[in-house]
Structure 1
Amino acid sequence: MADLNHPKRLAAIDGVATSRLPDPQLDALINGVAAVASTPIALVSIVRESVQFFRAYVGLFGDLSESRVTASCDSFCQFVVKGEAPFLVSDAAADARVPQALVARYGIRAYAGVPLMYQGQIIGSVCAIDVKPREFSELQIEAMRGLSGYIAQRLESLRLESLRLEGLQQGVDAAPPDLETTP
């Protein structure tokens, strides 16, 4: 079972661009997850020891769409990370494995999550959520795995872009104040 506090895992999470700004490519990918899973809700969840952060999502409502965080101990995504494998729940209200806080508060009934691998570490989950009990097919899970790989690639692109912009800003900050620019 994976340790949520493993230093390599935490370093990988720290390397991810965790900006709250929307990213059209991540949004398109997570919409693809919802489409292949036929669910109203899908998330890219980054799981730390105490909280999980939703980097991209479709279908969240209420306070979750504003805060984009929940306690990890209440999450289903923690089981994807800890188990290092897909985690499936067909009826959360009747499943003793899952915390009931989100079931009661948001009506979550079905869940399918696949690992989000980044820099060799499982940093979270790409998941599909339904408000009614249901099964997920192997084909849906395999499609979600494929999309998870593209999501990881996009997170890496965002990280590299952030580093590039940071480097440019450092160059601007280091320029002499009397440097004249020409139009």
Structure 2
Amino acid sequence: MKAQLHQAEDRRLAALRSYDILDTPREAEFDDVVKVVSAICDAPISVINLIDDGRQWFKAEVGLGVRETPIDSSLCAHAILQPGLFIVPDTTLDRRFTDNPLVTGDPHLRFYAGALLQTSDGLPLGTVCVLDYKPRELDETQKAFLRLMADQVMKALELRKLVAVERAGRLKAELIVEENRILAREGDHRVMNSLQLVQSVLSLQMRSAANDDVRDNLESARNRVLAIASVHKELHLGGSLEDIEIAAFLRRICSSLQETAPASITAVNVTAADLMMRSDLASAMGLIVAELVTNSFKHAYGARSGPVDVSFNPTPGGWSLCVADQGHGLPAGFDAAKGSSVGMRVVTALVRRLDAELSIDSSAGGSRFTVTSKV
């Protein structure tokens, strides 16, 4: 007699396939289970049996020598329709099996006992079973052991499933990270192209400007775009979205800025301590340096020449950033917060963003802008 389908067969098969166990190679942990079950139950045949669509497949077996058989002759297909432990002391006396070819013919199976492999929501996947060539019974210890082994196999299947889910999640996360890196690189490339285009347009406008004030304003705008481009480029080259090594970051920015320096600027010197800083803070700091350095390019020396010095050092509980020149100094009564310079208003806004303070020292011997933070 062929076993009927389980009342929730579609859900049962979906649950079975979710464990991704069918047609996998033999594994020692499952082979050991059937060996021990066979020995404890004193049975020549022991099987971890999973009931698939149209077949029964054996994850591990002792005494059969095959990995699957058709479902029509399956004794376990009947077992998964029964609650708990399913025992047939003599198959020739059970009408479900009297005409089964495995009973009436080779290998002449006469005894069956199977403990369910069952999901947490009650769906049977198969059994851990033992079979014999003679009618018999199991004692209470053997019955308890067979149930225990079924529980252990089910826990092993659940663990495999959990590991597979975690692995899939990790691979998906790695894929997302890589995709984000690709998108970030493409975004950076497009931003740089756009900034370079704006610089080129401003340079063209400068050359054709008939008015000195217009030319000065266009130059200021071009320098500001250059500063933003330099900071963006260095953040991109740093390759980190979290932490930036600030000394190398400032050196690269100032190196880029020096390429556009007028002849009056002999050098842009950087002295900086090695310190890691969050990329958002480093970005603000880089823009401050770019604004102050380009400001020195324009106003510090005039007909004279000299360097621009940039220094960064940790302080107790914070850090200090300084941009200084040896030029003419600032106009009397200069106020960075209230000045008409767009660049200085940008600097003061960035300083507030850093939760820092800006101090300015100026004399005929030069100007010094110092940003200090206690964070």
What TM-score do you get using the length of structure 2 for normalisation? 0.41
Q: Which residue of 2 aligns with 1:25?
A: 29
Alignment check: 8 A CA contact 2:79 2:127 kept? yes
- Give the counterpart letter for 1:102 in structure 2: L
For residues 34-58 of structure 1, the C-alpha deviation after alignment (integer angstroms, 9 at most, x for no partner) is: 1221111111111134211111212
1:102 paired to 2:102: yes
Q: Which residue of 2 aligns with 1:132?
A: 134
For residues 124-178 of structure 1, the C-alpha deviation after alignment (integer angstroms, 9 at most, x for no partner) is: 11100112222222321121111100000111122233344455666787858xx
The 1-side partners of 2:175 and 2:43 are apart by: 47
Q: Which residue of 2 aligns with 1:70?
A: 69
The 2-side partners of 1:4 and 1:59 are apart by: 31
Pair 1:143–1:167, CA change in 2 (3 A): same
Q: Which residue of 2 aligns with 1:14?
A: 17
CA drift of 1:3 comes to 1.6
Q: Which residue of 2 aligns with 1:52?
A: 56
Greater relative contact order structure (CA < 8 Å, 6+ sep): 1
Q: Which residue of 2 aligns with 1:82?
A: 81
- Give the counterpart letter for 1:119 in structure 2: S
User: Higher Cα Rg: structure 1 or 2?
Assistant: 2
The 2-side partners of 1:135 and 1:163 are apart by: 41
- Give the counterpart letter for 2:91 in structure 1: A
Cα RMSD after superposing both structures = 2.6
Alignment check: 8 A CA contact 1:33 1:147 kept? yes
Pick which of 129-138 and 37-46 moved more: 129-138
Alignment check: 8 A CA contact 2:89 2:137 kept? yes
1:119 paired to 2:123: no
Unaligned stretches of 5+ in structure 1?
Answer: 177-183
- Give the counterpart letter for 1:110 in structure 2: F
Pair 1:52–1:16, CA change in 2 (3 A): same
Pair 1:157–1:126, CA change in 2 (3 A): same
Unaligned stretches of 5+ in structure 2?
Answer: 180-375
The 2-side partners of 1:100 and 1:5 are apart by: 25
The 2-side partners of 1:2 and 1:71 are apart by: 14
The 2-side partners of 1:169 and 1:72 are apart by: 37
Pair 1:74–1:2, CA change in 2 (3 A): closer
Q: Which residue of 2 aligns with 1:181?
A: none
- Give the counterpart letter for 2:57 in structure 1: F
The 1-side partners of 2:160 and 2:109 are apart by: 30
The 2-side partners of 1:34 and 1:124 are apart by: 17
The 2-side partners of 1:74 and 1:130 are apart by: 16
The 2-side partners of 1:4 and 1:55 are apart by: 24
Identity %: 27
For residues 49-82 of structure 1, the C-alpha deviation after alignment (integer angstroms, 9 at most, x for no partner) is: 4211111212213xxx2xx112222111112111
Pick which of 25-34 and 4-13 moved more: 4-13
The 1-side partners of 2:56 and 2:43 are apart by: 20
Q: Which residue of 1 aligns with 2:158?
A: 156
Alignment check: 8 A CA contact 1:41 1:58 kept? yes
The 1-side partners of 2:156 and 2:64 are apart by: 21
